[in-house]
Structure 1
Amino acid sequence: MCGIVGVVADPEVIGNTTPMLVQGLRRLEYRGYDSAGFALVECGSYRLLVFKDKGRINDVVKSYNVERHCAVGGIAHTRWATHGEPNTINAHPHIDCRGEIAVVHNGIIKNFAELRQLLEEKGHVFRSETDTEVITHLLEEYLRSGSSMWEAFKKLIRVIEGAYAVAVIYSREPHRIYFARRVSPLVIGLGEGFMMIASDIPSMLQYTRRFVAVNDGEYGYIEPYRLYLEKDGREVEWRHRVMTVTWSIEDAEKGGYPHYMLKEIMEQPRALFETYTGLASSQELEIAAKLLSSAERIFVTGAGTSYHAGLVFAYYMARMARRPVIPFISSEYLAYRDMDHSSSVLVAISQSGETIDTLQAVRSFKSSGGRVIAVSNVIGSTIPREADVTVYTRAGPEIGVAATKTFLTQVLALTGVALTLARYNDSMTQNEYKKAMDTLKNAGHAASAGIDRSIRAVELLASSLRSKGNIYVLG
């Protein structure tokens, strides 16, 4: 999960949009904080200026003196990595070969590898490891073929697959931002002489209280005095969808929920979808299954909730892949320290990739000849770096202390590993495997339906309990 924000304005109304971009992005930092970046269309020259780096937003703003630059419009991004480690090159925005097109993106482009290969064969030079960069080069390629930017953008939407919220700025059209949404959230902010676009309302609430949520499958562009929407090639009437928000900024930062815990519960369906999509577009499951198939002994470890995800993994490994797994809490790794692990594989689960007990277990197994499969939510963290193979979840940052979306995405990823191994060792037919993976694919819908069914019952139960002095929980 990442955060994006963009602004275009009439220079007579707002002389410099850079402060709006900086402030808007700061309010999105909860969506990702391993890198940040800005693409500004410079006042007067209309040159495209790009500033990006690893680290938090304020550090990037200060290091590059972003706020001293005047911009008639721009886009910005705060990243939680899903493709490519967190570094300057992989940070958004990404640009084309000519430095005229910049893009920010939240989501996963499922078919980026094949698109990248095609574009490289046509002479495009890629600078990063990200899936996002294919967008700029595709647009550049369509422009080379004689398309207008609007025509090129619509071609792009027909070609890319996966989940995305995309914003594109083109220096030759300095007062326009193109956008598209599939699954990942995107909202338009309607101003007087300016327009904004962002991942959520809080990043724009300081500047406007009138918004239009972009629906799934819609795309279009914003200009200082215009919003244009399309879907499936037909213009969409949006004026009846304008909503006026009365939340305070403090409330809005939690998406209108009273606290992050509830917000993250509601984010579980999207996190499951993005994790499945990411795994389906990579070779992570195949590589992990191949490593497990060669192991004489399989261990799984984690701390807290990650350990419980490991217990689910052990169950499905026995049931579906016909392979026993030894689970242990990572703080107890010393019990296995003196064993020969030259034929062992350890599955190490850590949301952050930095859990100290789990890291010590990884190092202990590797020192005894063992191999390690990491399951983590943070690209480039320590445990994935030290592992032989990593299976990534795509839950985005989790601020609440109690695990919600990170636990479910771990279970989904680990179940995918068990299913792939079952197919690999013929414990499951290809048809059975396909049906099981289709069920995993629908996990997000199942979670959404479960949340919807539970809301009313939870509200009634909470109402009946709020006046009680004591609660006894048996079990």
Structure 2
Amino acid sequence: MCGIVGCILKEKKDAAPVLFECIQNLEYRGYDSIGLATYDNRINVKKGKGDIKKVNREQNFKNMSGSYGIAHTRWASTGKPTPENAHPHLDDTNTVAVVHNGTLENHSEIRDELIKEGHEFISTTDTEVIPHMIKKFMDEGLNLEDAVRKCGEKIEGSYAIVAMSKDEPGKLVATRKDSPLIVAFGKEGYFVASDTPAVLDYARDVIRPKEGEIAILTKEGIEIHDENGKEIKKVPQHIDWSPEMAKKEGFDHFMIKEITEQSAAVKNTLGQRANIEKIIKSIGDVKRICFVACGTSYHASITGKYLIESLAGIACDVVIASEFKYTAKTWDEDTLVIFISQSGETFDSRMALKEARKTSKTLAIVNVAGSAMTEEAEYFIQTQAGPEIGVAATKTYLAQLTAIYLFAALMAKDEKLIRELYKVPKYIDEVVNERESIKEISKRYDFAKNAFYLGRGFSYPIALEGALKLKEITYIHAEGYAAGELKHGPLALIDEKVPVIVVIPPGDDYSKTMVNLEEVKARGAIILSVCAKGDKKTAENSKEVIEINAEVGDIIAPLVYAVPLQLISYYVTCDKGYNPDKPRNLAKVITV
């Protein structure tokens, strides 16, 4: 969940400005502290607590000499956000510097052993044991590469590590286990990072080392070594995302930019039809499907369950990735386990994937080419959303849904639904073009301390996703409910101070949802409904409405009705003075 970058420039010029620009592009992975280390006859380190702009004003990162170095932006997992816990970390002789993404499970035991041997620590973070161990192994006669390799054998948990040592100048050594890492080839030099947006301005040809492999960067190039130190030849993958795709392009925030890009994300993902058809043919018959996911991807999975069961008649479960162990023993050779992850690096999902591979067919739906889950799953579908920087998922959610819809429709041979899917980008653009009116509506709801979202059938996961968006970026307590559950408890919480957002598209569940709408109206709730244009009955029973093209029926509603709910959350967040791209306590990729 932290961002790491390293670079070595071919020409002898300062790397700090390049490192700083790259690490800025990864701030979405963590923003409670930042630090840089460069080498110029000695290791120079500057770091501090706070976001990048704040710490840079204090430290002036660009004014650091040295043609290579490492950088880090942190999302705290072990040790509070403090200047001492900020990366890079050094050993107590300032010989080795390290940046790290992940969580070390046995760091306390290692720290105790090192303290007994005379090592002195200044932080409370798990990462600090790494440079101490590397220095210890180098003192015992190992070179930097072998010391990093031996360190990887000793530590337990997840990690992506980049290390440098003044005893081996001109070299960066990197390795990984259960955390993402890429190396990249550019015109000006060579790069290592935890995610591709970091380096898109400088390098587009990327290799993703496998677990346990060692990447060695010098100004002559990049080498990948196996566990025995033998060089492995790998062909770089060209990333066709432009640098501009990862920048704001004049929008106030990444989130609103990414909301406006959703029609393109859906259209581009629909282009995966041929690939999905091949996957379905190769998978063959299955008796059961199980979705495994977290957060927003979990909500996409619920929609997938409804689609597959209602269209294809195949029994389908949805499991939260962190709870997979309670279901894993029911997976067998007739089960297809589908993993949904934007990054393809989500830790809990990857642990479940490793278990599923032992017994079942596996399919990953991810947004990042070459990510860990694309290599670990038997089959994978890459959604075509491009890089998503905002922490709150928007375009990647709709791209995931699009892939799921295509999969379900092709599995069920439902050509009518497929034709409907190709109309979805137009419907999304119609909603986005009304964002100024939605902005005005949103201003009337920033007072709320609690909110409820209601939906039935395919609209139920829309309600869940709408509530998640509201609470994760506005910090308003919000809950999504299946509308039929109102009388089983939630109705007790409804009063005249509670906004209720009702998702009520035309379709089989419309009449029953209207009954639930009238129930909350009778309790004095402030009702905002998202409904079809021309729906007079809903308008009469709501304080106000957001209208969607009446051609959007209940089955494809999740692909369209989610958009105004995203916009409501975005504008309420802005009204409250918060940054929607950087919600507190959250990070984009959960790799621990």
Could you state the TM-score of these two structures normalised by the residue count of structure 2? 0.47
Distance 2:403 2:188 in 1: 42
Counterparts in 2 of 1:270-309, with a 5 A limit? none
1:473 alignment counterpart:
554
Distance 1:193 1:109 in 2: 34
Deviation at 1:64, TM superposition (A): 1.1
SS of match in other structure, 1:68: coil
Distance 1:121 1:55 in 2: 33
Change (3 A) 1:412 1:120: farther
User: Are 1:52 and 2:47 matched, yes or no?
Assistant: yes
Residues 7 and 192 in structure 2, CA contact (< 8 A), matched pair in contact too: yes
1:233 alignment counterpart:
228
Deviation at 1:462, TM superposition (A): 3.4
2:16 alignment counterpart:
18
Deviation at 1:148, TM superposition (A): 2.3
SS of match in other structure, 1:179: strand
2:152 alignment counterpart:
157
Deviation at 1:184, TM superposition (A): 1.3
Deviation at 1:198, TM superposition (A): 0.8
Counterparts in 2 of 1:25-424, with a 5 A limit? 25-42=23-40, 46-192=41-187, 194-239=189-234, 241-252=235-246, 259=258, 403-404=296-297
Residues 95 and 101 in structure 1, CA contact (< 8 A), matched pair in contact too: yes
Letter paired with 2:554: V
Deviation at 1:213, TM superposition (A): 2.0
Letter paired with 1:189: A
SS of match in other structure, 2:174: strand
**TM-superposition CA deviations, 1:95-131 (whole Å, max 9, x none):** 0010111100111122212211211111111111111
**TM-superposition CA deviations, 1:236-260 (whole Å, max 9, x none):** 4334x212333211324699xx948
Change (3 A) 1:246 1:101: same
Change (3 A) 1:412 1:212: closer
2:421 alignment counterpart:
462
SS of match in other structure, 2:101: strand
Deviation at 1:14, TM superposition (A): 4.3
Distance 1:176 1:139 in 2: 14
Query: What's the RMSD between the two structures over aligned residues?
Result: 3.6
Residues 189 and 209 in structure 1, CA contact (< 8 A), matched pair in contact too: yes
Structure 2's unaligned 5+ residue stretches are 249-253, 263-293, 302-318, 328-347, 357-361, 366-379, 382-400, 407-417, 428-548, 558-592
Distance 1:126 1:467 in 2: 58
SS of match in other structure, 1:250: helix
Distance 2:191 2:82 in 1: 27
Change (3 A) 1:71 1:234: closer
Change (3 A) 1:122 1:22: same
2:3 alignment counterpart:
3
SS of match in other structure, 1:84: coil
SS of match in other structure, 1:37: strand
Deviation at 1:91, TM superposition (A): 0.8
Structure 1's unaligned 5+ residue stretches are 263-394, 396-401, 420-438
Deviation at 1:403, TM superposition (A): 4.5
Aligned residues: 309
Distance 1:130 1:120 in 2: 15
Deviation at 1:16, TM superposition (A): 1.0
User: Are 1:443 and 2:352 matched, yes or no?
Assistant: yes
Letter paired with 1:245: I
Residues 205 and 237 in structure 2, CA contact (< 8 A), matched pair in contact too: yes
SS of match in other structure, 2:45: strand
Could you state the TM-score of these two structures normalised by the residue count of structure 1? 0.58
**Which has more radius of gyration?**
2
Letter paired with 1:462: L
Change (3 A) 1:253 1:234: farther
Residues 5 and 198 in structure 1, CA contact (< 8 A), matched pair in contact too: yes
Structure showing greater relative contact order (alpha-carbon pairs closer than 8 Å, 6 or more residues apart): 1
**TM-superposition CA deviations, 1:23-47 (whole Å, max 9, x none):** 00000001111111111112xxx11
Distance 2:320 2:2 in 1: 22
Change (3 A) 1:20 1:193: closer
Distance 2:350 2:238 in 1: 35
SS of match in other structure, 1:173: coil
Residues 193 and 225 in structure 1, CA contact (< 8 A), matched pair in contact too: no
Distance 1:84 1:230 in 2: 32
Distance 1:179 1:134 in 2: 16
Change (3 A) 1:457 1:192: closer
1:366 alignment counterpart:
none
Letter paired with 2:19: L
Distance 1:129 1:406 in 2: 36
Distance 1:104 1:473 in 2: 48
